[in-house]
Copies of this chain bind each other. A is one copy, B any other.
Amino acid sequence: MSQPELTPTESSHELPTGFRFAGATGGIKASGKPDVSLIVSDDACVAAAVTTTNQVFAAPVQLCRDRSPRSTCRAVITNSGNANACTGQEGFDDAVAMCESVAKMVGCDAEDVLVMSTGVIGHRLPMDKVERGISLAGEALGDSERHFLAAADAICTTDQYRKTASASFEVSGKTYRIAAMCKGAGMIAPNMATMLGVIVTDFPLTEASAQTSLRRIVERTFNRVSVDGHMSTNDTVILLSSGAAGDGSDAENATFIEAATDVSLKLAKLLVADGEGAVRFFEVAVEGAGSDKDALDIAKCVAASPLVKTAIQGGDPNWGRIVSAAGYAGPKIEVGKTALSIEGRDVFRDGRPLKFDAAELSGLMKQASEVKLQLVVGSGSGSAKYWSSDLTEDYVRFNSLYTT
Q: Are B404 and A317 in contact (CB under 8 A)?
A: yes
Q: A86-B353, A306-B399, A310-B400 are in contact. List 8 more A-B contacts (CB 8 A).
A: A55-B327, A56-B326, A56-B335, A86-B351, A187-B307, A191-B320, A230-B306, A314-B399
Chain A 280-311 interface 0/1 with B at a Cβ cutoff of 8 Å (1 = within): 00000000000000000000000001110011
Interface size on A, residues (CB 8 A): 62
5 tightest Cβ-Cβ pairs between the two chains A and B = A56-B327, A314-B400, A310-B399, A231-B328, A191-B320
Q: Are B56 and A324 in contact (CB under 8 A)?
A: yes
A42 at the interface (CB under 8 A from B): no
Query: A324: which B residues are within 8 A, CB to CB?
Result: 54, 56, 121, 192, 230-233
Interface stretch among A165-173, A238-246, A390-398?
A: A390-398
Query: A192: which B residues are within 8 A, CB to CB?
Result: 307, 320-321, 324
A318 at the interface (CB under 8 A from B): yes
Q: Are A391 and B396 in contact (CB under 8 A)?
A: yes
Chain A 78-111 interface 0/1 with B at a Cβ cutoff of 8 Å (1 = within): 0000000110100000000000000000000000
Chain A 332-367 interface 0/1 with B at a Cβ cutoff of 8 Å (1 = within): 110100100000000010011100001000100000
Query: A399: which B residues are within 8 A, CB to CB?
Result: 306-307, 310-311, 314
Interface residues of A in 34-59 (CB under 8 A from B): 52-57
CB of A148 to closest CB in B, whole Å: 31
Q: What are 7 pairs between A and B in contact, CB < 8 Å? A: A52-B328, A57-B327, A191-B318, A228-B306, A228-B307, A319-B404, A358-B404
Query: A316: which B residues are within 8 A, CB to CB?
Result: 400-404
A122 at the interface (CB under 8 A from B): yes
Q: Which residue of B lies closest to A121 (CB)?
A: B320
Q: Are A122 and B231 in contact (CB under 8 A)?
A: no
Query: A320: which B residues are within 8 A, CB to CB?
Result: 85-86, 121-122, 191-192, 233
